[in-house]
Structure 1
């Protein structure tokens, strides 16, 4: 892998989450998937809170990368390993935020199909994005990234 190219991720990772929600909605509509997601005020409030928290985590992750002057987009090389702020809790706060947003969106849409597809979305994210990012970081910062991985979990 060419270090100057970065992790070589072929698409913006948020597309996986958008696709999962979209396919889930189609399954609900045309696959006649019965919704077990309650359509009540408590579910709506929980959904909205999850969406807000998810977006906040994503934006804090982006802001932290920008302040560190490293690539936000996974098709560009990293210039530094960010280890402070939310990156001290999880190596992938933006993906944690997107997952939280996704769950909130699925609840807001009352979409059992989207909830069922979440493991598929996360597996694709792992294989097509996270593995490539980690390979790039191990190659670019072998000792520092290995130490970071020992100290901070991939998810939570």
Structure 2
């Protein structure tokens, strides 16, 4: 990261990481499937998984709308022009990444593939290290004390 005020990352890590988690989960299940829950718990988990996927879509739409209203980019590899603190950003500083994690977890529950649950946690940790922490430095450099006040009021995840 050459100039933290210009942009936080050179690559859009989060979508790459979440797609990789999905692909690796499927591949691991093909070569080394893990046991899954039987009925009736598996049916309940499928419903919970669909709810997580719907929540992912709703959270994504809401966060993207809030960012567009504020006139800032949605891309994680571009610098932001405005600090968004309303809508889902008033609940979590990273609603798009919460949504990505919900998507991976939801697919795992719907498909009954246990690997998704492990890879969702690994993906969230990787996103935090490769994207969130860099974005936080970027936001602090761009917005100073305003960002620090926001970060004290709103959690990083949930």
| TM-score, normalization by structure 1 | 0.91
2:105 match: 103
Indicate which of 38, 45, 48 corresponds to 1:46: 48
1:149 match: 151
Distance in 2, Cα, partners of 1:149 & 1:68: 18
Unpaired segments ≥5 residues, structure 2: none
Indicate which of 116, 139, 147 corresponds to 2:118: 116
State whether structure 2 residue 130 is matched by structure 1 residue 128: yes
1:65 match: 67
Distance in 2, Cα, partners of 1:40 & 1:120: 23
Contact 2:67-2:73 at 8 Å conserved across structures = yes
94-103 vs 129-138, which deviates more? Answer: 94-103
Q: How far apart are 1:15 and its partner, in Å?
A: 2.2
State whether structure 2 residue 41 is matched by structure 1 residue 23: no
Distance in 2, Cα, partners of 1:141 & 1:19: 32
Aligned length: 156
Distance in 1, Cα, partners of 2:12 & 2:122: 17
Unpaired segments ≥5 residues, structure 1: none
Q: How far apart are 1:37 and its partner, in Å?
A: 7.1
Contact 1:87-1:93 at 8 Å conserved across structures = yes
Distance in 1, Cα, partners of 2:6 & 2:155: 25
Contact 2:101-2:123 at 8 Å conserved across structures = no
Distance in 1, Cα, partners of 2:109 & 2:10: 29
2:9 match: 8
Q: How far apart are 1:12 and its partner, in Å?
A: 4.5
